[in-house]
Amino acid sequence: MRTVQRTAGGRMLRDVLALGAAMLAVGASFGAVAIAAGLPVWATLTMSAVLYAGGAQFMAVGLVAAGSPLAAVLAGLLLNARHLPFGLALGDSLGPRLRHRLLGSHLLTDETTAFTLAQPAGDARRRAFWLAGTLLFLAWNAGTLLGVLAGGAVGDPAALGLDAASPAGLIALLLPSLRDRDTRHAALSGAALAVAATPLLPAGLPVLLALAGPAVIALRRRSTPTDDTGRAPGTRVGAEPTGEGSC
């Protein structure tokens, strides 16, 4: 049993370190971009430590450089509103006490959430959250410091392809979840809504609109008639869902 747990722990650490490498690179790019935009060193480092918001930080730097600090605050709040359902999804993975939840909410990111939910519920999921949350936080802030020190040598993340590193890691984490038919339909519905709304809505709102994907599945379930056992007509007793179906 210990060998199995040690193997699982080693695999978990390896996966987190891979995500951390991408986080380090993107954080370095943020530090360089922030300095190039005219932000002081102390403000750049403080933003990564206190705000710790990834894409929202890039957007905030652009808006501040354009002379719109209030717009930067509002846009950051809007974009990070997606963390509210993240917190609900993780639930007890943050820990039972208030101090655990307060600290855990600060470490919450897209990557940490996806990595945690990919683990089995219980102690394994709790360990995954704190491992990923802590290491990715350190990687982002170390990357920011490197970017500040390197200045313009790091350059634009899009030019180096670094902007695709975190989304690629997220896709890899989420792919196993898409084997379930309802999860797949919810994800595709939300993605379609977000893509369709992107030309029409301000940045941040399409991401929130994607949360309507699970609502579509819930409405479909309510509209499906069931028999006295709660199964849809035609479902064989004892049959297990296969998770297969067309998208």
- Domain count within the chain: 1
Q: For residue 102, give the DSSP letter.
A: H
58 in any annotated domain: yes
Question: Using one digit for the tens of pLDDT, what is the confidence trace for 180-218?
Answer: 676 677 767 777 777 787 777 766 566 666 666 666 565
CB atoms within 10 A of CB 232: 10
Is position 220 within any domain?
no
Q: How far apart are CA 155 and CA 52, in angstroms?
A: 20
* Stated length of the chain: 247
Q: Give the tokens for residue 34.
A: 């922030």
Q: Show the CA angle centred on residue 139, arms to residues 138 and 141, nearest 5°.
A: 65
pLDDT digit string, tens, across residues 132-160: 999 999 999 999 999 898 875 555 555 55
Q: 169 lies in a domain? A: no
CB atoms within 10 A of CB 87: 15
pTM of the full structure: 0.65
Least confident window among 80-84, 121-125, 175-179: 175-179
Has residue 217 been placed in a domain?
A: no
**Which pair of tokens denotes residue 48?**
């990564």
Q: Which domain holds residue 99?
A: 2-156
pLDDT at site 14? 82
Residue 167 within a domain: no
Cα 171 to Cα 79, 100, 167, 193: the distances in Å are 20, 28, 6, 18
The residue among 94, 116, 115 whose CA lies nearest residue 106 is 94
Residue 192 lies in a domain: no
* pLDDT of 53: 85
Distances (CA, A) of 127 to 86, 104, 110: 17, 12, 17
Tell how many helices (H) and how many strands (E) occur in the chain.
Answer: 13, 0
Confidence grade of residue 242 (pLDDT, cut at 50, 70, 90): very low
Flag whether 91 is in a domain: yes
Q: Return the sign of the alpha-carbon dihedral for residues 42, 45, 48, 50.
A: negative
The whole-number pLDDT of residue 130 equals 92
For residue 245, report the phi and psi dihedrals to the nearest 5 degrees: 165, 165
Determine, yes or no, domain membership for 39: yes
Q: Once rounded to an integer, what is the mean pLDDT over residues 12-41?
A: 85
